[in-house]
Amino acid sequence: MSKIRFARHLVFPVLVAAVGCASESSPQSNDSEALQQGQAFVPISRTLASADTTSVTGLKLQSVPNGSGKESFYLAINKKELNRRYFLSAYMKQAYPGSVGAGAASSLGTRVVTFREQNGKLFVFDAQDGRASSDTFDPSLIIEAYPVVDHYAPFLGLSGHDDYLLFDPAAGLNRFGVVSDFYASSTETPLHFQVDLSYLQNFRRINDGTTFEQVFTGAVNDTLQADQPGPANWYTASGTLGIALRRYAEGEGFQPFDANSTSREYYFRADPLLEKNTGETLSRAIKWNIHPGMKPIKWVISDQFAEVAKQYPKYDIVGAIKAGIENWNAVFGFKAFEASVATPQDSYADDDKNYFIYDGDPTYGYAFANWRLNPNSGEIRGASVYFNAIWLQGAIDEFDPQPDSASRAAARASQTRPHVPQITWGQFRSKPLCTLWEPGAGSARDALRAEGVQPAADGARNVEKFLTHVAVHEVGHTLGLRHNFKGSLLPLPQQSSVMEYILDPDAVAGGRDLPGPYDYDAIRLLYGLSTSEPSQAFCTDDDTTVDPDCATFDRSDDPLGKYWGPAYNTLLGRVLRNEDPEGAYLRSINRFYLGGAAGFLRAGTPVEQARGWSQLDQLLAVGVDHTADNSKYPGYTDRLSAFQNYLLNRLFFDPENVRGDITNDPVLTGDALAAVITSLKGVIVNSDGYRAWATRRTSVDVLKKLQVQPAYDALLASRASLAASRPSLPAGSSEAALADDLIARIDNATHPYYK
């Protein structure tokens, strides 16, 4: 993804940040008690100067409650901790503008760190394993540096202060940055984000460390080029970063899994670790420390689910989400996960919580999962799932329609899905494991209805099953599973995996509110409950660009013959008959079915290529008498020729970004090559009288692009046919001129033909 370039002269509004007011109170008595107890980190109440509460570029400071009762604080670290390793985790709790689209509700990552004090600063060093390439080259990497506070009288008056260093976590390097959006690649260099104001709140002790939040506001200046007049463009943003410092530990009995030990990429990988003095790397699959006899890992479900359930008493919404988490227990054969409703005091940014988030704003119509892990071992330390209102609304509209369902679906169809810049912190940036988009109106879901595929009865139960399906999919990612986009390659209504992107009716009818056979086998191998790899068909995200059977939202054991092709032709028939005045069917063809069928022409076997062309050309074929169609549906053949021109351009000339997942030009062989050449030759000479000149010209260009002898021969034969019929055209007529132009086009294509 290219480096971000913001719209010129655009200024975003600034967050009214939730931060604390100035406090004149002295340090609380329990500060001294905590120091004397030798706790690792102790918050020391801070009296703010008036300058600290001044509005910065419109930022208003407001008092907020926090877990420690401290409105502002320094942090004291026990000097005994300076040589110990800690997990440093960052979680973007809030981001403005853009909220979730800007990276809110996302873990930015975890580092293993140590602390050292020098020259008035507390340095934070990367202490992760696998950095040293040899005994000679073992780099020291600085992650952050905080100023030591030397002369704060209230701290110096506390008993036990000599055993601590006092520092200001709000005044670190603050190396925030901005990348283009939620999907920014890990290699994209962030623009520098200058922090104007940073404030700490919500200090909280946990059993192995501490967490707190940093509220910040600032801007990035994307300098104009010299030849572009006008003021520099400022991007202004604010956010709340959850930070955790927890003592380094590895789960008792945890067994890392070698990600290179399997024949396929079933699992997510932790970042590779260098094996010192070998030139080799370790690659470990990501997993929890789940094993028989363990204490169940607790998840909390946002209390907002319970609130929204009051609006929809017909559905057991909380129970559906709880099932999506706990249904994985059957795979293990014991209770690995246990879910309950969160309290108002729980936060999805808490590093010691596994949180299922609910967002009442449906703007960002997707769900995603992320985790916090030990980068040394691949052990998952915590996870969260983001889920918003569009899934509930869509499920009701799909499976249990209400009087307002049609209008809500129309509103979703017209809604744009915004892409906004994302904030990063130092080396930390979000890497969502999965971004599952709610299909929305005008999608494959509606096209299924056009094919006559209707949801099963029992609407309320199906709403619940579908919500569970979304939850069990995302929780499956937090267990370490990648997608399996061949999970649907079974006779309907079966699927082998919940890690597939499954069409809504199929997910419900196929029982994919529960893990499938593939999921059982993959999980049991990863967690040491089996030694056998899954036997079911498998492919994952990278394969979607090369394997036409590895497609999202397809269905059946023969997607081309039973789904993509029939759906494409059903909808195309309606377009040709002018039964699509608002263009919904044409949009569905463009977004789904054309790409799905064309994938077999672009990347299939010779047999699949021939089948793919047969589907794509079925209603467009040369030599069919459409007299009755033109009579019943005026303009039928005009629309036929126009769509054929569109199809040929989409297959061979359109930009890659509109071609679907598989983007290469078709390299045709065998029966497919012969069929395409025969068809295009008939179009060029207009053997049935229905082909417009634009379509005929495009057909010449396609034969030129094929660069094979049969295509060259077809061009020569077409020219001879056109030249033979040319004298019969009225002199000076537009038909004669267009024929001459087409003949000249063929001459240009064949002299020379080969590039």
Query: pLDDT tens across 50-76, in order?
Result: 444 443 333 333 333 333 444 678 999
Q: With bands split at pLDDT 50, 70 and 90, how would you rate the model's confidence at 439?
A: low
Res 225: pLDDT:
43
215: left (phi over 0), alpha (psi -120 to 50) or beta: beta
Counting Cα atoms < 13 Å in the Cβ hemisphere of 196 gives: 22
Q: Which of 237, 82, 241, 247 is nearest to 169 (CA)?
A: 241
Res 310: pLDDT:
95
Q: Is the peptide bond before 493 cis (omega within 30 degrees of 0)?
A: yes
Q: Give burial (CB, 10 Å; 0-12/13-18/19+) of 9.
A: exposed
Query: pLDDT tens across 294-351, in order?
Result: 999 999 999 999 999 999 999 999 999 999 999 999 999 999 999 999 999 999 999 9
Lowest mean pLDDT: which of 414-423, 528-537, 734-743? 414-423
Sign of the CA dihedral running 251, 330, 352, 67: negative
Q: What DSSP letter does each residue of 524-551 carry, written as one string?
A: HHHTTS-SPPP-S----GGGGGT-TTS-
* Rounded Cα–Cα distance for residues 29 and 33 (Å): 7
Q: Which of 673, 674, 686, 687 is nearest to 742 (CA)?
A: 686
Give the mean model confidence (pLDDT) for residues 166-190. 81
Q: Which of 204, 227, 396 is nearest to 309 (CA)?
A: 396
Res 27: pLDDT:
44
Q: How many helices (H) and strands (E) does the chain have?
A: 22, 22
Radius of gyration (Cα) for the chain, nearest Å?
Answer: 31
Give the mean model confidence (pLDDT) for residues 724-750. 95
Res 416: pLDDT:
65
Asked if residue 525 lies in contact with residue 505, where contact means CB atoms within 8 angstroms, the answer is: no
Res 22: pLDDT:
31
Range among 25-39, 157-171, 406-420 rated most confident: 157-171
Q: With bands split at pLDDT 50, 70 and 90, how would you rate the model's confidence at 83?
A: confident
Count Cβ neighbours within 10 Å for each residue of 230-264 and write b for 16 or more, e otherwise.
Answer: eeebebbbbbbbbbbbbebeebeebebbebeebee
Q: Give the 3-state secondary structure of 574-643.
A: HHHCCCCCCCHHHHHHHHHHHHHHHHHHHHCCHHHHHHHHHHHCCCCCCCCCCHHHHHHCCCHHHHHHHH
The dihedrals phi and psi of 34, each to the nearest 5 degrees, come to: -65, -40
Res 71: pLDDT:
60
Specify the residue for token string 């660009």. Answer: 545
Res 435: pLDDT:
65
Helices 709-725 & 693-706 angle (0-180, nearest 10): 150
* Rounded Cα–Cα distance for residues 105 and 242 (Å): 10
The dihedrals phi and psi of 87, each to the nearest 5 degrees, come to: -85, 130
Number of residues that this document lists for the chain = 755
Structure tokens at 38: 């030798």
Between strands 434-437 and 233-247, the pairing is unpaired
Q: Which amino acid, 600?
A: F
Q: What DSSP letter does each residue of 71-133 carry, written as one string?
A: SSEEEEEEGGGGGS-EEEEEEEEEEETTGGGGTTTEEEEEEEEEEEEETTEEEEEE--TT--S
Lowest mean pLDDT: which of 279-288, 296-305, 407-416, 460-469? 407-416
The dihedrals phi and psi of 724, each to the nearest 5 degrees, come to: -70, -35
Q: With bands split at pLDDT 50, 70 and 90, how would you rate the model's confidence at 413?
A: low
State how far the alpha carbon of 360 is from the alpha carbons of 41, 214, 357, 387, 734, in Å.
36, 24, 10, 9, 60
How many CB atoms lie under 10 A from the CB of residue 5?
Answer: 10
DSSP annotation of 267: B
Res 3: pLDDT:
36
Res 64: pLDDT:
35
pTM listed for this prediction: 0.88
* Rounded Cα–Cα distance for residues 201 and 347 (Å): 13
Res 132: pLDDT:
85
* Rounded Cα–Cα distance for residues 146 and 230 (Å): 38
Structure tokens at 147: 């100023």
Res 728: pLDDT:
94
Res 244: pLDDT:
95
The contacts of residue 697 (CB under 8 Å, 6+ apart) are 741, 742, 745
* Rounded Cα–Cα distance for residues 416 and 411 (Å): 10
User: What residue segments make up the domains of the chain, in order of their start?
Assistant: 29-249, 285-413+430-482+509-531, 559-750
Range among 360-369, 389-398, 740-749 rated most confident: 740-749
Q: With bands split at pLDDT 50, 70 and 90, how would you rate the model's confidence at 220?
A: confident
* Rounded Cα–Cα distance for residues 700 and 414 (Å): 38
Instruction: Between 449 and 299, name the one with better pLDDT.
Output: 299
Instruction: Between 541 and 425, name the one with better pLDDT.
Output: 541
Q: With bands split at pLDDT 50, 70 and 90, how would you rate the model's confidence at 458?
A: confident
Query: pLDDT tens across 602-654, in order?
Result: 999 999 999 999 999 999 999 999 999 999 999 999 999 999 999 999 999 99
Structure tokens at 150: 């030397």
* Rounded Cα–Cα distance for residues 371 and 383 (Å): 4
Q: Which amino acid, 36?
A: Q
* Rounded Cα–Cα distance for residues 558 and 535 (Å): 19
Q: With bands split at pLDDT 50, 70 and 90, how would you rate the model's confidence at 277?
A: confident
Give the mean model confidence (pLDDT) for residues 178-194. 77
* Rounded Cα–Cα distance for residues 738 and 535 (Å): 59
* Rounded Cα–Cα distance for residues 211 and 243 (Å): 6
Q: With bands split at pLDDT 50, 70 and 90, how would you rate the model's confidence at 582?
A: confident
Strand partners, 147: 121
DSSP annotation of 29: H
Res 49: pLDDT:
53
Res 192: pLDDT:
86
Asked if residue 550 lies in contact with residue 363, where contact means CB atoms within 8 angstroms, the answer is: no
Structure tokens at 418: 């915004």
Q: What's the whole-number average pLDDT of the chain? A: 86
Q: With bands split at pLDDT 50, 70 and 90, how would you rate the model's confidence at 428?
A: confident
Q: With bands split at pLDDT 50, 70 and 90, how would you rate the model's confidence at 743?
A: very high
